[in-house]
Amino acid sequence: MTLRQEVLKTFSREKTHKIVFSPRLYYWYFGNKIYSKQKKKYSKAIPTHYYGKTQLDIYKELGVSPRYSEETLYLPLYYEIIDPLSHIKVQREHGSKKGETITIHKTPLGKLKQVESIGGGLGGHKTEYPIKTLADIKSMQYILENTNVLFSKKNFELAEKHFGETCVTSTYLLKSPYQKLVTEYMGFTGTILFLKRYPSQLENFMMFLEDWDDQMYDQISNSPIQLVNFGENLDSNLSPPHYFEKYLIPYYEKRVNQLHQKGKYCHIHIDGSLRDFLPYFEYLPFDGFEALTAKPQGDVSLEDIKDAIGNKILLDGIPSILFLPEYSDNYLKEYTQKVLKLFSPHLILGVSDELSPNGDIRKIEKISEIVKNFNV
């Protein structure tokens, strides 16, 4: 059985012959400039046999499975395009601080400005969100009304060719309306304040966002993609039960049902605080959960997660901090074996949720050996 076949059998609940190990290496790879041809740029912590290799080369060398074509092959499976006749101008410039980028959208209805900063790693975070007033909502709505989402058949076919049998070519979708507000458009504080001060206006905007999402789901539903991730990056502190029940669960039920009707498998990325979500997992429509992070990094135990998700599929399971020097190889080995025993065979093993640039790739090698010797 190939890795691709094993992933599909895991989701279809057929008998599997082995657990698939699928660590996402994107941040580690770029944070350590593994692609560089100049040896002087490499950290002494990086084994020399990885120097200058592609991500896919490293996955194959490790005998493990990649997950997303966007990360591993730099091939997005869908893209957004603004109508060139819409009189929308996008201007990007460097900010006054190192790693700071200012993006300005100029529209016939007004101007939107956002500021994004990059810290010591590769992850960016917004320090200024584009929607600050009710008028800004109109400007953002105008931008989206003139933006189309299109599936890239060309990139999918290229990804299929390059991946071969190493994985199931997959993608993660744009966030749900509530999550877009919190993470992209307004920030958590801005979203909560607007829901208190202008509830009808903001809920109308969320309804607009949901309708706008139809084009993405229509494209993905009718594509050859078999496995779809809802890239929500949920944290129960930012999506507390009241909002989770009101704005997120109905949306998930609608969209997963739409994808299930087309024969797709669906999982959701939840990588923050989990405790308040636990009672909901059993009833959510997803086939699996990606990146659920247990102690010592998260706020719940592995047993709590297992009790909550039952026989749904867990993707990942090993907290990323265990790849730091503070945690011994023996501790990591014991933890990995516990994850395997608790969740097998409903498991795609990985790092919750990615190997960080200062993570030890040699620990990935050790886990790969553990998985090879594990009997499902």
Q: Which residues partner with 94 through β-bridges?
A: 101
pLDDT digits (tens, 9 = 90+) for 95-148: 888 889 999 999 999 999 999 997 655 567 899 999 999 999 999 999 999 999
Model pLDDT for residues 215-234, shown as the tens digit of each residue: 999 999 999 999 999 999 99
92: Cα separation from own chain's centroid: 25
Per-residue pLDDT at 122: 59
Instruction: For residue 212, give Cα distances in angstroms to 172, 198, 205, 281, 309.
Output: 17, 21, 10, 27, 31
pTM to 2 decimal places: 0.96
Token pair of 3, please? 């890795």
For 352, the enclosing helix (H) or strand (E) is strand 347-352
pLDDT at residue 125, as a whole number: 86
CB-CB contact of 88 with 146 (8 Å) = yes
| Among the listed residues 120, 74, 99, the one whose alpha carbon sits nearest the alpha carbon of residue 357 | 120
Q: Which segments in the chain show pLDDT lower than 70?
A: 119-123
CA–CA gap between residue 255 and residue 257 (Å, rounded):
5
Q: Which of 65, 106, 340 is nearest to 227 (CA)?
A: 65
Structural domains in the chain, sorted by start: 3-83+146-372 (3.20.20.210), 84-130 (no CATH)
Identify whether the C-beta of residue 293 lies closer than 8 Å to the C-beta of residue 351. Answer: no
pLDDT value of position 279: 97
Strands 313-319 and 347-352: parallel
Residue linked to tokens 């999550």: 179
Model pLDDT, residue 147: 98
Residue 328 burial (C-beta neighbours within 10 Å; 0-12, 13-18, 19+): exposed
pLDDT at 43: 87
Helix (H) or strand (E) segment spanning residue 2 = none
Contact yes or no for 319/352 (Cβ under 8 A): yes
The whole-angstrom distance between residue 363's C-alpha and the CA centroid of its chain comes to: 22
Alpha helices in the chain (DSSP H): 3-12, 26-31, 55-62, 69-72, 134-145, 153-163, 177-180, 187-197, 199-221, 241-243, 249-260, 278-281, 302-309, 329-343, 361-372
Check residue 17 and give its pLDDT. Answer: 94
The predicted pLDDT at position 123 comes to: 67
Query: On the CB side of 337, how many CA atoms lie within 13 Å of its CA?
Result: 10
Annotate 110-170 with three-state secondary structure.
Answer: EEEEEEEEECCCCCEEEEECCCCCHHHHHHHHHHHHCEEEEECHHHHHHHHHHHCCCCCCE
**Whether 157 contacts 77, CB under 8 Å:** no
**Are the C-beta atoms of 150 and 55 separated by less than 8 Å?**
no
CA angle 371, 368, 161 (to 5 degrees): 105
